């Protein structure tokens, strides 16, 4: 069995499973945030009216809450949702609640690894479509809707149809001007935006072995439905450094089967951009060098990990930005590290604005949304019409290196072409 099948077999108490099998899997970890949480509460209210007991959760120790999408509160409703989350965590004795303005908090998909909340081999579900980010740790991570999350909270399990697995093999080490974002955009361009629908996308090969854990997280983040990477000693060490006490390597069988295999050479990859209005509408960055921009956004669960900020800072050091540039670290722990290492000073000296961890601009809610006809290069994960603001704005998805280089020139720029 491959790693996805082994995890689902373990979680469902079976010796072996195969694609298309239906299994009831025990859930190891559950996440809700300030968007999904209120929706789950509405489901609880509906269940109560139907006579179903919602007075206690199956296991509150497996649940954690993030405040990330509408913080700082954008208006009255988002402020009220934060209060609802606080009341919910008190009612059900949920200890892991990462509150905005109270120390460590951040984007939910960043906290899952930054706080070592999920271990290799576990089944993790969250009320957000990019929950699959955590698959990079060797876990089966999946986003679910409000009703399914409510069911998991009350019962501790949920059904899955065992997916087929696509295997993406990367040979060689990524060159210095190439980041994981370039690789995953190339893949999405090849298979299409829905090419992995109800399939697991597994990444492997020497190129993945060479990658840092944070680079691997970028790959899994962009997969949606489910991305996964077999854990190794890098994974275990990364988690131990963040407080994990029982993380261990979890891998599939060496002779595992995959429904499709795709192979790539790291040396052949180019800095890549996804043009509006889909992540699969890709082009080589150099082909778009005449595209003028209004804004560069370096943020989100996809593109504001410490490694991402470091890559951007190396380009911005000693330079000035020509367009509005916003840098939002993905968690307070990353923000603090960036301050300690001088990255924040580099961003500010370059003329960029540095803000708090939030999903606001990425989902077009607040904290830097786009106006009509504005054009943005962004390290985020989606660029559908209206995703980052006005429906007639445009977003180009790119790596932190491309976003930083483009901030300096005011046009889409391959980092190799900076003077």
Alpha helices in 222-352 (DSSP H): 233-241, 300-303, 306-316, 332-340, 343-350
3-state SS assignment for residue 76: helix
Q: Which pLDDT score, from 0 to 100, does residue 195 have?
A: 84
Beta strand pairing call for 63-66 and 29-33: parallel
3-state SS assignment for residue 211: coil
Q: Which pLDDT score, from 0 to 100, does residue 34 have?
A: 96
Rounded to whole angstroms, the Cα distance separating 186 from 190 reads 6
Evaluate if residue 196 carries a pLDDT over 90.
no
Crossing angle of helices 146-155 and 36-49, rounded to 10°:
70
Q: pTM above the 0.85 mark? A: yes
Radius of gyration of the chain (CA): 21
Question: Token pair of 154, please?
Answer: 């009350």
Phi first, then psi, for residue 335 (nearest 5°) are: -55, -50
User: How many helices and strands (H and E) does the chain possess?
Assistant: 14, 18
DSSP H or E segment with residue 38 = helix 36-49
DSSP H or E segment with residue 404 = helix 400-409
pLDDT tens column, 232-265: 999 999 999 999 999 999 999 999 999 999 999 9
- Percent of the chain topping pLDDT 90: 97
Q: Which pLDDT score, from 0 to 100, does residue 94 have?
A: 98
Task: Report residue 338's pLDDT band, with 50, 70 and 90 as the boundaries.
Answer: very high
pLDDT tens column, 134-171: 999 999 999 999 999 999 999 999 999 999 999 999 99
User: How long, in residues, is the chain?
Assistant: 419
Task: Report residue 226's pLDDT band, with 50, 70 and 90 as the boundaries.
Answer: confident
Q: Which pLDDT score, from 0 to 100, does residue 197 have?
A: 85
Asked if 108 and 33 count as a contact pair (C-beta separation under 8 A), the reply is yes
Evaluate if residue 224 carries a pLDDT over 80.
no
Crossing angle of helices 306-316 and 332-340, rounded to 10°:
40
Question: Token pair of 419, please?
Answer: 């003077």
Q: Which pLDDT score, from 0 to 100, does residue 194 have?
A: 86
């Amino acid at each position: 069995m491959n790693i996805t099948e082994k995890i689902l077999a373990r979680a469902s108490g079976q010796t072996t499973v195969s694609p298309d099998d239906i299994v009831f899997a025990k859930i190891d970890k559950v996440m809700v945030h300030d968007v999904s949480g209120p929706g789950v509460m509405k489901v609880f209210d509906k269940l109560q009216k139907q006579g179903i007991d919602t007075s206690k959760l199956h296991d509150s120790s497996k649940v954690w809450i993030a405040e990330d999408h509408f913080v700082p509160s954008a208006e009255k409703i988002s402020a009220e949702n934060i209060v609802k989350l606080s009341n919910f965590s008190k009612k059900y004795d949920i200890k892991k609640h990462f509150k905005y303005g109270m120390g460590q908090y951040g984007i939910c998909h960043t906290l899952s690894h930054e706080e070592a909340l999920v271990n290799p081999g576990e089944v993790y579900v969250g009320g957000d479509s990019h929950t699959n980010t955590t698959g990079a740790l060797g876990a089966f991570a999946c986003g679910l809707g409000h009703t399914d999350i409510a069911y998991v909270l009350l019962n501790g399990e949920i059904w899955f149809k065992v997916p087929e697995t696509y295997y993406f093999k990367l040979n060689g080490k990524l060159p210095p001007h190439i980041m994981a974002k370039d690789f995953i955009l190339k893949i999405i361009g090849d298979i299409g935006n829905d090419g992995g629908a109800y399939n697991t996308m597994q990444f492997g090969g020497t190129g993945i072995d060479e990658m840092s854990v944070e680079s691997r997280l970028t790959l899994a983040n962009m997969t949606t439905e489910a991305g996964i990477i077999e854990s190794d000693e890098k994974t275990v060490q990364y988690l131990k450094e963040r407080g994990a006490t029982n993380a261990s390597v979890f891998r599939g069988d060496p002779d595992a089967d995959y429904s499709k295999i795709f192979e790539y050479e790291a040396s052949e990859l180019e800095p890549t951009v996804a043009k509006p209005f889909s992540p699969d509408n890709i082009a080589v960055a150099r082909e778009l060098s005449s595209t003028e921009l209004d804004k560069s956004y370096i943020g989100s669960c996809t593109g504001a990990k410490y490694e991402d900020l470091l890559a951007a800072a190396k380009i911005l050091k000693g330079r000035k930005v020509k367009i509005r540039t916003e840098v939002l670290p993905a968690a307070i722990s990353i923000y603090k590290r960036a301050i300690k290492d001088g990255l924040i000073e580099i961003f500010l000296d370059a003329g960029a604005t540095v803000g708090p961890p939030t999903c606001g601009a990425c989902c077009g809610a607040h904290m830097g949304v786009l106006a009509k006809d504005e054009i943005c290069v962004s390290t985020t994960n989606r660029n559908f019409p209206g995703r980052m603001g006005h429906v007639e704005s445009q977003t180009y998805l790119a790596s932190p290196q491309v976003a930083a280089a483009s901030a300096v020139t005011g046009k889409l720029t391959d980092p190799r072409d900076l003077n």
